[in-house]
Protein backbone atom coordinates (compact mmCIF):
# COMPACT_ATOMS: atom_id res chain seq x y z
CA UNK A 1 0.00 0.00 0.00
CA UNK A 2 1.39 3.38 -0.98
CA UNK A 3 0.61 7.00 -0.12
CA UNK A 4 -1.67 7.21 -3.16
CA UNK A 5 -3.55 4.05 -2.18
CA UNK A 6 -4.29 5.35 1.29
CA UNK A 7 -5.41 8.78 0.19
CA UNK A 8 -7.73 7.34 -2.50
CA UNK A 9 -9.42 4.72 -0.30
CA UNK A 10 -12.89 5.98 0.76
CA UNK A 11 -12.95 3.86 3.95
CA UNK A 12 -9.99 5.80 5.29
CA UNK A 13 -11.84 9.12 5.32
CA UNK A 14 -13.07 8.57 8.88
CA UNK A 15 -9.61 7.51 10.01
CA UNK A 16 -8.04 10.52 8.32
CA UNK A 17 -10.57 12.85 9.94
CA UNK A 18 -9.82 11.29 13.33
CA UNK A 19 -6.11 11.96 12.95
CA UNK A 20 -6.63 15.45 11.57
CA UNK A 21 -8.83 16.21 14.56
CA UNK A 22 -6.19 14.73 16.85
CA UNK A 23 -3.47 16.82 15.21
CA UNK A 24 -5.46 20.02 15.66
CA UNK A 25 -6.10 19.11 19.30
CA UNK A 26 -2.44 18.30 19.97
CA UNK A 27 -0.79 21.11 18.06
CA UNK A 28 -3.54 23.56 17.26
CA UNK A 29 -2.44 25.13 14.04
CA UNK A 30 1.19 25.51 15.00
CA UNK A 31 3.15 23.54 12.41
CA UNK A 32 6.45 24.06 14.22
CA UNK A 33 5.14 22.13 17.22
CA UNK A 34 4.67 18.95 15.21
CA UNK A 35 8.30 19.09 14.07
CA UNK A 36 9.41 19.72 17.65
CA UNK A 37 7.48 16.62 18.73
CA UNK A 38 9.05 14.61 15.91
CA UNK A 39 12.49 15.70 17.12
CA UNK A 40 11.66 14.60 20.66
CA UNK A 41 10.53 11.17 19.46
CA UNK A 42 13.69 10.89 17.37
CA UNK A 43 15.80 11.62 20.46
CA UNK A 44 13.86 9.03 22.46
CA UNK A 45 14.45 6.44 19.74
CA UNK A 46 18.15 7.31 19.56
CA UNK A 47 18.38 6.48 23.26
CA UNK A 48 16.18 3.38 23.10
CA UNK A 49 15.47 2.00 19.63
CA UNK A 50 12.48 -0.10 20.67
CA UNK A 51 10.65 2.63 22.61
CA UNK A 52 7.05 1.59 21.86
CA UNK A 53 5.48 4.95 22.65
CA UNK A 54 7.95 6.92 20.53
CA UNK A 55 7.49 4.53 17.60
CA UNK A 56 3.72 4.77 17.85
CA UNK A 57 3.56 8.54 18.09
CA UNK A 58 6.18 9.06 15.38
CA UNK A 59 4.12 6.76 13.13
CA UNK A 60 0.99 8.76 13.94
CA UNK A 61 2.72 12.06 13.22
CA UNK A 62 3.88 10.75 9.86
CA UNK A 63 0.27 9.80 9.12
CA UNK A 64 -0.99 13.22 10.18
CA UNK A 65 1.45 14.99 7.88
CA UNK A 66 0.50 12.59 5.06
CA UNK A 67 3.79 10.70 4.92
CA UNK A 68 1.99 7.39 4.71
CA UNK A 69 4.92 5.19 3.66
CA UNK A 70 6.98 6.40 6.62
CA UNK A 71 4.00 5.93 8.91
CA UNK A 72 3.52 2.33 7.79
CA UNK A 73 7.25 1.66 8.17
CA UNK A 74 7.24 2.97 11.76
CA UNK A 75 4.01 1.29 12.82
CA UNK A 76 5.07 -2.07 11.38
CA UNK A 77 7.91 -2.05 13.90
CA UNK A 78 5.26 -2.41 16.62
CA UNK A 79 3.91 -5.70 15.24
CA UNK A 80 4.81 -8.81 17.25
CA UNK A 81 6.48 -10.42 14.22
CA UNK A 82 9.02 -7.55 14.13
CA UNK A 83 10.14 -7.77 17.76
11-25, 48-62, 64-78: range with lowest mean pLDDT: 11-25
Report pLDDT digits (tens) over 13-49: 555 556 666 766 665 556 777 888 888 888 888 888 8
pLDDT over 90 at 71, yes or no: yes
Helix runs in 1-83, H state only: 3-8, 13-27, 31-47, 52-64, 68-76
- At a CB cut-off of 8 Å and minimum separation 6, what does 22 contact? 60, 64
pTM: 0.60
Question: By C-alpha distance, which of 80, 47, 77 is closest to 62?
Answer: 77
- At a CB cut-off of 8 Å and minimum separation 6, what does 41 contact? 54, 57, 58, 61
- At a CB cut-off of 8 Å and minimum separation 6, what does 7 contact? 66, 68
Amino acid sequence: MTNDDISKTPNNNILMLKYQEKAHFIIGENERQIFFLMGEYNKALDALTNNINALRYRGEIYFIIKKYDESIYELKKLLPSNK
